[in-house]
């Protein structure tokens, strides 16, 4: 329940955070310490900036997590863009991170979220004198393939002549359903075996921007001194995974439901490619493990026919992974038909859950 809610909340948090960033950007635009006639460009300082989101599980337990890798720019013309690497979700536990990435955000299809805005420097003309301004800023958030226009209240503060902070005035609520993520909340609940996940996230942030050509200070904000602030290495930067990390990833990838076949067929749909590419990457970083691709069906049809179909589907996935570069000795395939259902075969939704491909791993024989 814990991790699931975090995921949901996180999404919302994102939306709010993005808006806040805009405010900071606005202030930066107006601030012209280097030249009287030319406003500088600004860059987000990832080491001093932080985005946190709070999630609720069991209706009362609150958990705070982060998105660690953030980049952003604000041009002198007022074009603002902040990008959030969803693969840098940090819950403090690897398994929870993986669930959030693959089940909730579906980073194999949507690896980033982006906030964009057009900023009017005139709105922050008094910032150099006042040093701190509150504002309401419109922005566009692109998340999970959905663009939504939002607005957020922010506080813009001049830290120095070359640094500006934009922070949330209050936690921002983000609604999961606005970005088509409600079905993914179900996946999280099933994976974590929890219920009562609140489909709302509460987001807070503090983003620090630095004027082009200037050097960030050693300590920019109180938050920046914390060990869990700033960029973090994601899976893409790792040469290999530990056995535990490998097993976490195979278990969660098995629950994505993102491998598709034509009805009663073992022909893979092209929509399966993003997930297959992710699996290929994980197998490549687990060189000491052998992965079994297991196929399952619902109970429609005869047990014999279902067993044969599941075998063909598992083999089709195995062949696709080998064609994608996975060593043949690291892959095997097995079909289990309608055995081991994960739900009762009593509704179309439950039958769809039972029609699945799973991945498991064991040590390679010497």
Q: What burial class does residue 186 get, using C-beta atoms within 10 Å of its C-beta: 0-12 exposed, 13-18 middle, 19+ buried?
A: middle
For tokens 């209050």, name the residue: 170
Dist CA 337 CA 302 (whole Å):
10
| Residue 39 confidence (pLDDT) | 66
Start-to-end CA span in the chain (Å): 40
| Residue 308 confidence (pLDDT) | 98
Residue 201 pLDDT greater than 60, yes or no: yes
Q: pLDDT grade, residue 97 (50/70/90)?
A: very high
Residue 76 pLDDT greater than 60, yes or no: yes
- Record the tokens describing residue 178, joined without a space: 């606005």
Q: pLDDT tens-digit profile of 223-281? A: 444 567 799 999 999 999 999 999 999 999 999 999 999 989 999 999 999 999 999 99
| Residue 311 confidence (pLDDT) | 98
Q: Which of 23-37, 47-61, 309-323, 336-350 has the lowest mean pLDDT?
A: 23-37
DSSP annotation of 215: P
Which residues are paired to 52 by β-bridges?
A: 66, 204
- Record the tokens describing residue 51, joined without a space: 């985005």
Dist CA 242 CA 232 (whole Å):
17
| Residue 14 confidence (pLDDT) | 41
């Amino acid at each position: 329940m814990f991790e699931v809610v975090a995921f949901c909340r996180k999404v919302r948090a994102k939306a709010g955070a993005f808006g806040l960033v805009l405010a900071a950007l606005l202030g930066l635009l107006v601030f012209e310490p280097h030249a009287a006639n030319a406003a500088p460009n600004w860059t987000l300082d990832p080491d001093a900036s932080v985005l946190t989101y709070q999630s609720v599980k069991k209706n009362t337990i609150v958990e705070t997590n982060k998105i660690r890798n953030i980049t952003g720019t604000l041009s002198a013309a007022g074009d603002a863009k902040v990008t959030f690497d969803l693969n840098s979700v940090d819950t403090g536990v690897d398994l929870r991170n993986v669930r959030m990435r693959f089940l909730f955000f579906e980073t194999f299809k949507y690896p980033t979220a982006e906030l964009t805005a057009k900023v009017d420097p005139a709105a922050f003309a008094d910032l150099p004198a006042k040093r701190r301004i509150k504002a309401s800023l419109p922005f566009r958030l692109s998340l999970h393939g959905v663009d939504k226009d939002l607005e957020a209240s922010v506080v813009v503060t001049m830290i120095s002549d070359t640094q500006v902070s934009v922070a949330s005035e209050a936690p921002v609520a983000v609604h999961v359903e606005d970005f088509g993520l409600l079905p993914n909340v179900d996946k999280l609940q099933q994976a974590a075996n929890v219920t009562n996940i609140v489909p709302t996230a509460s987001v807070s942030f503090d983003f620090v921007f630095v004027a082009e050509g200037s050097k960030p200070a050693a300590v920019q904000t109180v938050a920046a001194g914390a060990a869990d602030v700033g960029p973090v290495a994601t899976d893409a930067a790792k040469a290999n995974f530990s056995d535990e990390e490998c097993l976490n990833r195979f278990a969660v990838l098995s629950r994505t439901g993102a491998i598709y076949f034509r009805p009663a067929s073992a022909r893979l749909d092209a929509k399966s490619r993003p997930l297959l590419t992710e699996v290929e990457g994980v197998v490549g970083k687990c060189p000491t493990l052998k992965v079994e691709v297991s196929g399952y069906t619902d109970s429609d049809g005869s047990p014999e026919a279902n067993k044969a179909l599941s075998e063909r589907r598992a083999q089709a996935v195995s062949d696709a992974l080998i064609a994608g570069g996975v060593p043949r000795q690291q892959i095997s395939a097995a079909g289990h038909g309608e055995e081991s259902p994960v739900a009762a075969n009593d509704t179309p939704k439950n039958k769809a859950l039972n029609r699945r491909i799973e991945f498991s791993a064991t040590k390679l024989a010497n």
